[in-house]
Amino acid sequence: MNDNLLEIKNLSIEYVTEDGRFKAVNDLNLKIRVGETLGFVGETGAGKTTTALGIMRLVPNPPGRIVQGEIIFEGENLLEKNIKEMTSTRGNKISMIFQDPMTSLNPIMTVGKQIEEVIKLHQDIPKNEITIRAEKMLETVGIRKERFNDFPHQFSGGMKQRVVIAMALACNPKLIIADEPTTALDVTIQAQVLELMKELKEKFNTSILLITHDLGVVAEICDYVAIMYAGSAIEYANIERLFNNPLHPYTVGLFNSIPSLDEDVDKLTVISGTPPDPSHLPMGCRFHPRCPHVMEKCKENFPQAIEVEEGHFVSCFLYNKETVKEE
């Protein structure tokens, strides 16, 4: 029924270095519908950013390499596109907001020029219109157009992130990948940026892949959530279902580790152990060494995703009994 804007199938990405082979993304499956915001949640090193770079085909190579899988965007596999087709997609249909606004702008170019650049690349319009449009984008994100000819070092962190967002939105992309857009910012500015993204999403009906480790941010603007662990999505559901009924032990652990304002808890529970070393991933379910409900089969077999309730997928043997007992 819903049109999938982006569908990732069995994506695996690895980094090969002197110190070994790091499996950053493993057999990942994911989808985003038109106009939907998907929260992509996981610990540092879970492979979120690598996935994002994979969609953009910007995984640094070497050492990175897309091993297998498909990334279907508007019905076409991005991994089969040539470089020219890919450059006309980047910044135009898919754009990306990076984590650290302090370093993601070119320090020797005015912010105006940097916004103009992306418009010039993808829109066939006369020069003066490019400038007008770039100025409008700047104002859309709440920066006076008088600052058009200023350089990045003359802006604060929050302002820079607004410029990055303006750049990302300049060509009305179908999909925005926002990689922890608020992590590097102050709490108050975080709220402003999130508010801005929410507004823009409604205005332009853009789909957003929001990468974060902050469930609070997810609750604020996402429609769906995918939980990432050791390079694969272990749980996927819409926001109400996931927040009201988290299923995977890891997801449950994540929620338990957030301090709650409503309940009076003496001690926060933490997930025991540390995230797995991507060069030596455990056999079977990758979460099993840390899982409180670990069973024998978790140690050998990788659990396939199962739909527990409508649109709520989880990769865990705990929910395997009544649905598919024996394939």
Partner 1 sequence: MSKYILKRILLLIPVIIGVSFIVFALLELSPGDPVRNILGTNADPKEVEALREEMGLNDPFLVRYGRFLKNMIINRDLGDSYLTRTPVVDEIFMRAKPTVILAALSISVAIILGIPIGIISAVKQYSIFDNVTMVIALLGICMPVFWLGLLLILLFSVKLGLLPSSGFNSFSQMILPSLALGAQSVSVITRMTRSSMLEVIRSDHIRTARAKGQKENVVILSHALGNALIPILTTIGTQFGQLLGGAVMTEVIFSIPGVGRLMVDSIKMRDVPMVLGCILFVAVSFAIVNLVVDILYSFVDPRIKSKFS
Residues that bind partner 1 (CB under 8 A): 56, 58, 60, 83, 87-92, 95-96, 98, 100, 103-110, 117-118, 121-122, 151, 153-154, 164, 167
> Which residues does residue 33 pair with via DSSP β-bridges, in sequence order?
4
Quote the least distance from Cβ 143 to partner 1, whole Å. 17
CB-nearer residue toward partner 1: 29 or 123: 123
User: What separation in angstroms does the CA of 209 have from each of 9, 97, 225?
Assistant: 16, 10, 10
Quote the least distance from Cβ 75 to partner 1, whole Å. 20
CB-nearer residue toward partner 1: 154 or 301: 154
Quote the least distance from Cβ 255 to partner 1, whole Å. 32
CB-nearer residue toward partner 1: 16 or 219: 16
Rounded to the nearest 5°, which phi and psi values hold at 249? -55, -30
Quote the least distance from Cβ 163 to partner 1, whole Å. 10
Q: How far apart are CA 324 and CA 262, in angstroms?
A: 38
Burial class (CB in 10 A: 0-12, 13-18, 19+), 101: buried
Quote the least distance from Cβ 151 to partner 1, whole Å. 4
Rounded to the nearest 5°, which phi and psi values hold at 79? -70, -15
User: What separation in angstroms does the CA of 204 have from each of 34, 36, 72, 197?
Assistant: 11, 12, 22, 10
Quote the least distance from Cβ 51 to partner 1, whole Å. 14
Comparing CA positions, the residue from 185, 164, 226, 166 lying closest to residue 36 is 226
Quote the least distance from Cβ 35 to partner 1, whole Å. 22
Q: How far apart are CA 291 and CA 91, in angstroms?
A: 40
CB-nearer residue toward partner 1: 101 or 246: 101
Q: At what angle do helices 111-122 and 127-140 cross, to 10 degrees?
A: 120
CB-nearer residue toward partner 1: 99 or 320: 99
In a 13 Å sphere around the CA of 325, the CA atoms on its Cβ side amount to 2
* 136 CB neighbour count, 10 Å cutoff: 13
Q: How far apart are CA 293 and CA 62, in angstroms?
A: 39
CB-nearer residue toward partner 1: 67 or 109: 109
CB-nearer residue toward partner 1: 170 or 285: 170
CB-nearer residue toward partner 1: 63 or 292: 63
Q: How far apart are CA 223 and CA 206, in angstroms?
A: 13
Structure-token pair, residue 291: 């899982």
Quote the least distance from Cβ 165 to partner 1, whole Å. 12
User: What separation in angstroms does the CA of 284 have from each of 176, 281, 298?
Assistant: 33, 9, 6
